[in-house]
Structure 1
Amino acid sequence: MPKRILLVGAGLSGAVIGRALAEAGNAVTVIDERAHIAGNCHTERDAESGIMVHVYGPHIFHTDDDRVWDYVNRFETFMPYVNRVKTTSAGRVYSLPVNLHTINQFFGKCFRPDEARQFIESLSDTSIAEPGTFEEQALRFVGKDLYEAFFKGYTIKQWGCDPNDLPASILKRLPVRFNYDDNYFFHRHQGMPANGYTGMIGKILAHEGIEVHLNRRFSRSDAAEFDHVFYSGPLDGYFDCELGRLGYRTLDFEMFRHDGDYQGCAVMNYGDAEVPYTRITEHKHFSPWEKHEKSVCYKEYSRACGPDDIPYYPIRMAEEKALLGQYVERARRERQVTFVGRLGTYRYLDMDVTIREALDAAEAYVRNGGEIPPFIVDPT
């Protein structure tokens, strides 16, 4: 029998799950407290310049998951885009991730790959056998000079704490390459939606079995009208933060305009701690197939997330993990509610993983006749 399904959040999780369940014959309602769909992926044309702006900061699609790649291309044409990040350190510009060009430029050398590898190994702190912190991980694998130039100041600004207080796992996502490959991602499929993420998500939601209501906040009492709720809002927010607030970092953006090309690339990081922002993004470069005379740029500042701020990055330090465990146990006692997405599971998720987990959640719901647990993936 068709079910009445409520999706809380009109971002990727809500749209993908809602579409799959509507195609399976269910009556789907999607609500979002914002005035637009697409969540933090929201894009819109700047009225003055015509540039497609990533309103909540840049989102670059990359994946090795063929099914996810086929899925997004079903709803939008993805244009080729390779993320080539630059960084400014001590008044000089380098390419990231750290690669052979970065190493040779930084140290004034002309190493071949094997020579560069040996050189970096000679700089590493081999006394650190099992790195436990971000700083130990960096010192062990790239040494003091590269760490302080490219990682230390940026990390302090991004996370608001000493790198010795962060787990080593954060740095493991930042590779060092001993060739001239400056493609920030390894994935086979990379691109940008030709008409923006909001256009793509709008097409996903465009089904006769889906109703979308914006500017509408969720209350737990809403669940009584539906057979099942998929909740992609903050996990602690579902319980009105009764046990305390989970820690997040949030972002502030200072938008400015420029006639012409401001920095010549989409993303310029700033590794020096005395520069207050972490990076500047120039949004016309995220659509290199378009031509624009003017430019729209964002200076990006990271800080602790307050109760009225938009949560971006889950901190997941020891204190947060302990509180997360309490909320997870409480969530597991809920009935007919499944927590999904970055906020619902308090995890940092790339877009392709978000889509894959949403597809898996919808398929599990249909396959099991509506009987699925509160979490498809264990947040802890």
Structure 2
Amino acid sequence: MARDFLMVGAGLSGAVVGRALAEAGHRVRVVEARDHVGGNCHTRRDPETGIMVHVYGPHIFHTDDEEVWDYVNAHARFRPYMNRVKTTARGEVFSLPVNLHTINQFFRRTMRPDEARAFIAEQQADRSILEPHSFEEQALRFIGRDLYEAFFKGYTQKQWGCAPSELPASILKRLPLRFNYDDNYFFHRFQGIPEEGYTAMVEGILDHPNIALRLNTVFDPAQVGEGTHVFWSGPLDGWFGYDLGRLGYRTLDFERFTYRGDYQGCAVMNYGDVEVPWTRITEHKHFAPWEHHAGSVCYREYSRAARPDDIPYYPIRQVAEKALLTDYAARARKERGVSFIGRLGTYRYLDMDVTIREALDSARATLAALKQGSRIPAFFHPPL
């Protein structure tokens, strides 16, 4: 028997779950507070230059999940794209992730891979730190003070608004150190960007006769009809009106500027020096190297603590936030008729491919619960 479902949010989570339920014959309504679908991976053509702009910051799709890769390619034409990040530090431009070129350039050496590995291990890395507890300790043990202070300390302080010694070691584990000249930022087999942007892809996912979409619509509990199950992809604490307090996020401010020509020669230029107030500059025409534009659109990015009216980007997940998260998650599990999904609904940092994987799994779990006559879970993927 067909059921009614309400997706709050037209980002990747709501779109993918809604599409799967619609294809199974259920009625799906999607409400979105913004004037576009796609959430923070929204893209649009810049009216001045015609460049495809990643409005809320750049998104490069990368995954080893073949099913997810096939899924997104069924809804958009992906073009190959390799993320090659550069960083300006101490008056020079270096390659990221830290690789053999970075090491040789920084130390003014011409080391081979085995020589560089031994050099870092024996002359740079702090092996007295046996069990790193902070980002700083992890960096000092992993790459040593010189590389850490040049490439990670200032950038991290600007990105997170606190000393790296106050951040967990797990953050740095996502940053590789390579002893070859590979400057591909990601390891994954499948990497690309949709030719017509992410918004067109999400519009394609939502294009189904069983899906009704309403933009510029703030969720109102009165919209939930009797027997309708809600999938909430908004902030977890927002479902409860933030009555226990707000979970902490970092947000981003963007300073747009244009340039006649090629401003920096790459899509992403980080700035590692703490004296430079922005974390990076993105030049968006380089995210679509198959296109050609005489002009250029660039954005300086500034990171700061999110205020109530800001767009939440990165969950902080420090001790205080995790304590508050525990309380909200316990309340959420007692709710009926609602499931919390996605980055905001579970207060976790998720790459796009993981978001889609979890959404597909959540939809399948929902269909299984309906078939078995059991309760649809509040969380398909626990926030803690």
Question: Where on the TM-score scale, by shorter chain, does this alignment land: which range?
Answer: over 0.9
CA distance in 1, matches of 2:221, 2:138: 43
Could you tell me whether the CA contact under 8 Å between 1:6 and 1:226 is conserved in 2?
A: no
CA distance in 1, matches of 2:97, 2:214: 41
Matches within 5 A, 1:326-345: 326-345=327-346
State the partner residue of 1:17: 17
State the partner residue of 2:292: 291
Whether 1:367 aligns to 2:368 is yes
**1:12-51 CA distance string (max 9 Å, x none):** 0010011111000011000011111111010000111110
State the partner residue of 1:353: 354
CA distance in 1, matches of 2:120, 2:376: 50
In structure 2, the residue corresponding to 1:368 is in which secondary structure? helix
Whether 1:182 aligns to 2:186 is no
State the partner residue of 1:68: 68
Q: CA deviation at 1:217?
A: 1.0
Whether 1:51 aligns to 2:55 is no
CA distance in 2, matches of 1:106, 1:125: 18
CA distance in 2, matches of 1:155, 1:262: 25
Matches within 5 A, 1:60-209: 60-122=60-122, 123-209=124-210
In structure 2, the residue corresponding to 1:316 is in which secondary structure? coil
Please tell me the residue identity of whatever aligns with 1:174: L
In structure 2, the residue corresponding to 1:375 is in which secondary structure? coil
CA distance in 1, matches of 2:265, 2:227: 51
Q: CA deviation at 1:225?
A: 4.1
State the partner residue of 1:26: 26
CA distance in 1, matches of 2:94, 2:347: 33
State the partner residue of 2:303: 302
Please tell me the residue identity of whatever aligns with 1:299: R
Residue 379 of structure 1 is aligned with which of 366, 371, 383? 383
Please tell me the residue identity of whatever aligns with 1:162: A
Please tell me the residue identity of whatever aligns with 1:145: D
CA distance in 2, matches of 1:23, 1:14: 14
State the partner residue of 1:242: 243
Q: CA deviation at 1:220?
A: 3.3
Q: CA deviation at 1:319?
A: 0.2
**1:261-310 CA distance string (max 9 Å, x none):** 00000000000000000000000000011111100000000000000000
State the partner residue of 2:37: 37
Q: CA deviation at 1:368?
A: 1.6
Structure 1 pair 226/297, CA: closer, same or farther in 2 (3 Å)? farther
Q: CA deviation at 1:372?
A: 1.9
CA distance in 1, matches of 2:273, 2:198: 32
Q: CA deviation at 1:190?
A: 0.1
CA distance in 1, matches of 2:358, 2:116: 40
Please tell me the residue identity of whatever aligns with 1:3: R
In structure 2, the residue corresponding to 1:186 is in which secondary structure? coil
CA distance in 2, matches of 1:315, 1:344: 14
Q: CA deviation at 1:222?
A: 3.1
State the partner residue of 1:231: 232
CA distance in 2, matches of 1:224, 1:116: 64
State the partner residue of 2:321: 320
In structure 2, the residue corresponding to 1:338 is in which secondary structure? strand
TM-score of the superposed pair, with normalisation by structure 2: 0.98
CA distance in 2, matches of 1:20, 1:32: 18
Consecutive unaligned residues of structure 1, counting only runs of 5 or more, are: none
CA distance in 2, matches of 1:181, 1:69: 23
Q: CA deviation at 1:371?
A: 2.9
Q: CA deviation at 1:226?
A: 4.7
Please tell me the residue identity of whatever aligns with 1:117: R
Consecutive unaligned residues of structure 2, counting only runs of 5 or more, are: none
CA distance in 2, matches of 1:238, 1:156: 31
CA distance in 2, matches of 1:183, 1:26: 42
**1:221-277 CA distance string (max 9 Å, x none):** 433445211100000011000000000000000000000000000000000000000
In structure 2, the residue corresponding to 1:263 is in which secondary structure? coil
Structure 1 pair 112/14, CA: closer, same or farther in 2 (3 Å)? same
**1:111-140 CA distance string (max 9 Å, x none):** 000100000112111110000000000000
CA distance in 1, matches of 2:49, 2:273: 31
Structure 1 pair 284/78, CA: closer, same or farther in 2 (3 Å)? same
In structure 2, the residue corresponding to 1:212 is in which secondary structure? strand
In structure 1, the residue corresponding to 2:257 is in which secondary structure? strand
CA distance in 1, matches of 2:224, 2:321: 27
TM-score of the superposed pair, with normalisation by structure 1: 0.99
Could you tell me whether the CA contact under 8 Å between 1:220 and 1:238 is conserved in 2?
A: no
Please tell me the residue identity of whatever aligns with 2:377: P
In structure 1, the residue corresponding to 2:40 is in which secondary structure? helix
| Root-mean-square deviation over aligned CA pairs | 0.8
State the partner residue of 2:7: 7
Please tell me the residue identity of whatever aligns with 2:360: L
